[in-house]
């Protein structure tokens, strides 16, 4: 029987265990995939602990993005074949050796795309693309400030912003994360913990305010970041692991600026055709070498607790991955 990381209650990694589970039945329009690698994001950890804004049903298998090999194709799941290398996404269920998913959550990989890199690609890059293109309407020549630039969606936003022709200023909490952001295409990197942080942003942009803020951090970072915006600026709210900020409502008025929510889960559910078009574009850019995730460390599935703890600590520059099978 395939194994999966599962728990009957929400909590830290210690409440989860690796169990044998019966293989799920395959229905029409579904695909069975042997998971070879699964990405771990901070959101995955929050969800596993029951601290995310949406709580899945119990018992729960974490994991929202992975890559593997198709082993069975249900009736009507056209365009996929047994043996094909694929990227998959879902809201849970992917810290496992096998998953059964709707065809729309499974995408064939471009030639040459590594399975481990593919495992951390679909959700983080789709989020960054939706945020910057659909919600933020980032234009070439504008300046993009990326908070949490060494994290999953932050690093993706650095690369997407560069591709769109923006000047990208990366904010990150460690030297290794700032170095990663610069290697990923940022024009400048600043210390997120510096007391003169806003002055550093202004200096990095030649004394000018920024046009768009990509904010997957929240908490105390949101207010000063919003204050960095110029007239007509857009502050994109991706998440708030640092806490939910209380932004003064006079700030959007004085700057003619917008606070814009970005929810990739609801976007996929409510606008599936646009979401699919976005996925097609990011995978096209991955095949062209324009978008490429960074991997910090890979753990075998048996070491899922250490891997989840590593991701929760948020100290790694690059993504944490679980690997399964040969």
Residue ranges, CATH 3.40.50.720, the chain: 124-265
Per-residue model confidence (pLDDT) at position 187: 98
Task: Please state which CATH number belongs to domain 3-121+293-323.
Answer: 3.90.180.10
Residue ranges, CATH 3.90.180.10, the chain: 3-121+293-323
Confidence of residue 78 (pLDDT cuts 50, 70, 90): confident
Regarding the domain with residue range 124-265, which homologous superfamily does it belong to in the CATH classification? NAD(P)-binding Rossmann-like Domain (3.40.50.720)
For 7-61, the pLDDT digits (tens) are 999 999 999 999 999 999 999 999 999 999 999 988 899 999 998 878 899 999 9
Residues 6+ apart with CB under 8 A from 206: none
Per-residue model confidence (pLDDT) at position 283: 93
Q: Per-residue pLDDT averaged across 125-145, rounded?
A: 97
What distance in Å separates the CA atoms of residue 41 and residue 191, rounded to the nearest whole number? 22
What distance in Å separates the CA atoms of residue 38 and residue 23, rounded to the nearest whole number? 18
Residues 6+ apart with CB under 8 A from 114: none
For 146-173, the pLDDT digits (tens) are 999 998 899 999 999 999 999 999 999 9
Per-residue model confidence (pLDDT) at position 246: 84
pTM exceeds 0.75, yes or no: yes
For 185-198, the pLDDT digits (tens) are 999 999 999 999 99
Q: Are strands 210-215 and 143-146 parallel, antiparallel or unpaired?
A: parallel
Q: Return the SS3 of 182.
A: helix
The answer on pLDDT for 306 being more than 90 is yes
For 250-304, the pLDDT digits (tens) are 999 999 999 999 999 899 999 999 999 999 999 999 999 999 999 999 999 999 9
For 212-244, the pLDDT digits (tens) are 999 999 889 999 999 999 999 999 999 887 778
User: For 218-312, where are the E strands, in sequence order?
Assistant: 229-237, 258-261, 295-300
Nearest to 31 by CA among 88, 68, 77: 77
Residues 6+ apart with CB under 8 A from 69: 33, 34, 36, 83, 84, 85, 86
Per-residue model confidence (pLDDT) at position 326: 60
At how many degrees (to 10) do helices 152-163 and 175-183 cross?
30
Per-residue model confidence (pLDDT) at position 315: 85
């Amino acid at each position: 029987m395939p194994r999966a990381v599962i728990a009957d209650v929400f909590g830290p990694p210690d409440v989860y265990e690796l169990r044998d589970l019966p293989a799920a039945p395959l229905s029409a329009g579904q695909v069975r995939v042997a998971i070879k690698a699964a990405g771990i994001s901070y959101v995955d950890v929050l969800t596993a602990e029951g601290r995310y804004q949406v709580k899945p049903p119990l018992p729960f298998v974490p994991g929202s993005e992975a890559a593997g090999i198709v082993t069975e194709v249900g009736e009507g799941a056209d365009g996929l074949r047994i043996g094909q290398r694929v990227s998959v996404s879902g809201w849970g269920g992917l810290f496992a050796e096998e998953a059964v998913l709707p065809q729309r959550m499974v995408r064939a990989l471009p030639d040459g795309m590594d399975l481990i890199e593919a495992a951390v690609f679909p959700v983080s890059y789709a989020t960054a693309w939706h945020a910057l293109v659909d919600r933020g309407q980032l234009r070439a020549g504008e300046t993009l400030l990326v908070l949490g630039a060494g994290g999953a969606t932050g690093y993706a936003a650095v690369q997407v912003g560069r591709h769109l022709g923006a000047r990208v200023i990366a904010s990150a909490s460690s030297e290794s994360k700032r170095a990663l952001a610069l290697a990923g295409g940022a024009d400048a990197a600043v210390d997120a913990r510096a007391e003169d942080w806003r002055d550093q942003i202004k200096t990095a942009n030649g004394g000018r305010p920024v046009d768009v803020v990509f904010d997957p951090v929240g908490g105390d970072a949101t207010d000063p970041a919003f204050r960095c915006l110029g007239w007509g600026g857009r502050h994109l709210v991706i998440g708030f692991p640092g806490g939910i900020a209380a932004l003064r409502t006079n700030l959007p008025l004085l700057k003619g600026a917008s606070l814009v929510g970005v929810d990739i889960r609801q976007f996929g559910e409510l606008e599936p055709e646009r979401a699919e078009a976005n996925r097609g574009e990011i995978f096209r850019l991955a095949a062209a070498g324009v978008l490429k995730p960074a991997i910090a460390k890979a753990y075998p599935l048996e070491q899922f607790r250490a891997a989840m703890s590593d991701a929760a600590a948020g100290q790694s520059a690059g993504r944490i991955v679980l690997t399964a099978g040969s």
